[in-house]
Structure 1
Amino acid sequence: MLITTSYDPQREQLELADRLAAQIKELKGVQGNVRRVRRARMSLAQLCLTYDDPDILLVTRERIEYYHEQQPALFFHPSTAAIRVKRLLNGESDTLLEMAGVRPGDRILDCTAGLGSDAVTLSFAAGQSGQVTALESSPLPFLLLQQGLGEYVSDIPGMTDAMRRIRVLHEEHLDFLRRQDAKSFDVVYFDPMFRKPIHESNSIRSIRQLADARALTEEAVHEARRAARRAVVMKEHRDSGEFARLGFAELHRSTSKIAYGVIRL
């Protein structure tokens, strides 16, 4: 992987690129050689050819972007969380929050954070007295999420604070769950890669190449039931057989192609 900056970088971008290069080398699961390279006047395509490497992490003044061959750039953005938080501020409901029964002050574990859209919404709902812990096992999504939640500024009231409150960990969710005491969290949430992909989803298509594609295990759900106090929730394709396989008997199928399964405790 190559780590570089936009053209004519300021000192802040150069220092951040150096820090990211050092951090990435320490993360578990990073494949291949990690190299910090000067951009000079080369295009990203020219950098790939020069260093014979298809992966680039680009530090710009606005954000960090990941490029792999011809795939769209991957970067942190609140995405649908911004829409959902606006709706909450307007007094509208949110299906995930309703299914999970989220209340102010809740401690919530998001086991499969991705780029954090659900985690941000959960954190906003849990409020200043609540706490969301977001786990991401894949190194690059973790890095983008950690950096984005710490730097992104939203003009939506309360949303920036909600992002800053999230604790992000580079962890396998099963390993983490095994270490938790019983009833450590009010809600445990899973959003694994769907067994039946929704191909028209651009955000999922961008992250799918990097995310952990393994199916959720029965042991993970068992540990989640032990660690949760009120509910374990899973999001999947509405026609998925995973709900039945993993014991999520209570289902809410939305008008879209997703559904939520809930285990009440």
Structure 2
Amino acid sequence: MLITTSYDPLPEQLEQIALLQRQLTLLKGVDAPPRIIERRRYSMEQLWERYEDPDILLVTRRRIEYYHEQQPALFFHPSTAAIRVKRLRNGEQDTLMELAQTKPGDRILDCTAGLGSDAIVFSYASQATGAVVALESQPLPYLLLKQGLAAYQSDIDGLDEALRRIQVLQQDYMDFLHEQPDRSFDVLYFDPMFRKPIHESSSIKAIRKLADPRPVTDEAIREACRVASRAVIMKEHRDSGELERLGFNELHRSTTKIAYGVIRL
């Protein structure tokens, strides 16, 4: 992997790429230290050809972006979470928050955080008295999420505070669940890579290569039901059959291709 900056970098960008190199070297799942290179006036395509490495982390003045060949750039952004928070502020309902019966003070565990869209909404809905723990086992999504939650600034009241409250851990959710006492979280949430992909989603396409491809197991759901006190919720493609396989007895299929399974406790 290569790390570089945008054209004409500021001193803080140069400091950040050195910090990123150290951070990545320490993360689980990183086989070799990334290499810092000067951007000069090379395009992304020229960098790929010159250094014969398909993976580039680009530190811009606003954010960190990950490039892999011709895939869309991957970076942290609240995206649909910002829209959902705006709707909550306007008194509108959010399907996932309604299914979880989220309220101030709730403790939420997002077992498959990705880039954190649902964790952000959970954090906003559970407010300052609540707590959201977001688990991401894969190094690059974890790094982008952790950096983005700490640095992103929005113009939506309460959103920045919700971002900063989320605790992000690079940990396999099964290992984490085994360590937790019974009923230590109110709601556990899974949003794994869909068994039946939604190919038209560019954001999912960008992260699919980096994400944990393993399906959720029966053991994971049993452990989740032990650790949760109110509900275990899973998001999947509505036609995948995964929710039925795992024993979710309450199914909510939307008019899109998304479905939620709920186990009430």
TM-score bracket, normalised by the shorter chain, equals over 0.9
Counterpart Cα distance in 2 of 1:122 and 1:256? 21
2:62 corresponds in structure 1 to 62
Greater mean deviation of Cα atoms: 41-50 or 85-94 = 41-50
Q: Within 1, Cα distance between the matches of 2:240 and 2:99?
A: 18
Q: TM-score, normalising length from structure 2?
A: 0.98
Could you tell which deviates more after superposition, 99-108 or 37-46? Answer: 37-46
Match of 2:185 in 1: 185
**Ranges in structure 2 where 5+ consecutive residues have no aligned partner:** none
Q: What are the superposed Cα offsets for residues 31-90 of structure 1, whole Å, 9 maximum, x if unpaired?
A: 455111111222222222222111000000011000001111000000100110011011
> 1:83, 1:259 → 2: CA distance?
20
1: CA distance between counterparts of 2:227 and 2:16? 37
Residue of structure 2 equivalent to 1:43: 43
Alignment of 1:66-215 (within 5 A): 66-215=66-215
Q: Give the number of equivalent residue pairs.
A: 265
Once the two structures are TM-superposed, the CA of residue 240 in structure 1 deviates from its matched residue by 2.1
Which residue in 2 is equivalent to 1:29?
A: 29
- The percentage of aligned residue pairs carrying the same residue is 68
Q: Cα offset for 1:241?
A: 1.1
In 2, distance between residues paired with 1:23 and 1:162?
24
Judge conservation of contact 2:25–2:32 (CA < 8 Å) in 1: no
Match of 2:7 in 1: 7
Partner of residue 20, structure 1:
20
Which residue of structure 2 aligns with residue 246 of structure 1? 246
Q: Does 1:228 find its partner at 2:231?
A: no
Q: TM-score, normalised by structure 1?
A: 0.98
Instruction: Tell me if the contact between 2:135 and 2:168 (Cα under 8 Å) persists in the aligned partners.
Output: yes
Q: Deviations over 1:153-211 (max 9, x none)?
A: 01011001000000000010111111001111000000001111111111111111110
Partner of 1:218: 218
SS of equivalent residue, structure 1 residue 56:
strand
- Distance in 2, matches of 1:216 and 1:95, equals 22
CA contact under 8 A between 2:24 and 2:33: conserved in structure 1?
no
Deviation at 1:239, TM superposition (A): 1.5
1:252 deviates by 0.7
- Helix, strand or coil: the match of 2:229? strand
More moved, 223-232 vs 35-44: 35-44
Is the 2:21–2:33 Cα contact (8 Å) retained in structure 1?
Answer: no
Q: Secondary structure at the match of 1:17?
A: helix
* 3-state SS of 1:143 partner: helix
Alpha-carbon distance in 2 for matches of 1:29, 1:172: 11
CA RMSD of aligned residues (A): 0.9
> Which runs of 5 or more structure 1 residues have no equivalent in the other structure?
none
